[in-house]
Amino acid sequence: MAAQGHGPTTVDGVLRQLDRSSKDFHSLSADVERTKVTVVVNDKSVEDGTLLLRGDKMLLEMKAPNARTILRTGDNLFVYTPGLNRVEEYNLAQHRMLVDQYLLLGFGENGKDLQKSYLITLLGEPMLDDRKTIELELTPRSDEARNQISKIQIWFDESSWLPVQQQFNETGSGDYFMIRYSRVVRNPDLGDAHFKPHWPKGTEKVKPQG
C-alpha cells in the first residue's frame, strides 16, 4: 500500500524520516520498563527506571528490588550497585561501536548509520499504546554483534520518530529482553551535572578486567 503523503511505508522512506529527525535531536528523558524473558525456564522479570540521554552521555537509574545506576560518559561506563556499596568502571574504547548499538539504538540516529550496522526489514505499522508505530527488524552486520544479539526489533513512534519499544533477541538461547519507553520528553535541558559520577563516601571502586 502506497504512502498517502503522511507516512513512509518502505525502508528507504523510514530511513529518510530518521535522517530528518536526527538533525534536531539533542537530548531525551523517559521512563523505562525492562522485561527479561528466559525461555528455557519460562521466567519473566520486570524492572522500572528512568533514562536521561545527551550526546554520548547516558544515565539509567533502575529502581528496587535490583536497584542500580548505569552512567555512561563517552568511553567510560559506571555501574553502581547501592546494595553492594560498589561501583564498577569499564573503559569502552575497544567496544565503542558495539556499545553504541545497544545503549543508544534509535535515539537521534540517522538512517545511514543504522543501515551501515544492520540489515533492515520493515515488519509493519502496528498500533502500540494508541500510537501508530513503524516496526523494524534489525540484523547486526558484524560477527561480533551477532554473536551476542541475533536480531533486534524496534518500534518508532511515527509522530516523533523516537523508539517506544525495543526487543533484543539473544543469540543461541532464544531469551530476549524488551524495553518500553513512556513519558518521553525530546530535547529537555540537561546540563553536565546530570552526568557526573558521584557515589556515596565509602563506595568500593572496581575496574573489572576484560
Name the β-bridge partners of 86.
Answer: 81, 204
Indicate the pTM of the whole model: 0.86
**Mean pLDDT along residues 45-67:** 93
Q: Bridge-partner residues for 188, per DSSP? A: none
Return the half-sphere exposure (C-beta side, CA atoms, 13 A cut-off) of residue 159. 9
Given this model, what pLDDT does residue 102 score?
59
Region 170-185: mean pLDDT is 93
Domains and CATH numbers, the chain: 11-205 (2.50.20.10)
pLDDT in tens, 120-163: 999 999 999 888 999 999 999 989 888 889 999 999 999 999 99
Q: According to the model, what pLDDT value does residue 18 have?
A: 92
Q: What 8-state DSSP symbol labels residue 152?
A: E
The CA distance from 99 to 115, in Å, is: 17
- Give the span between the Cα atoms of 48 and 29, in whole angstroms: 14
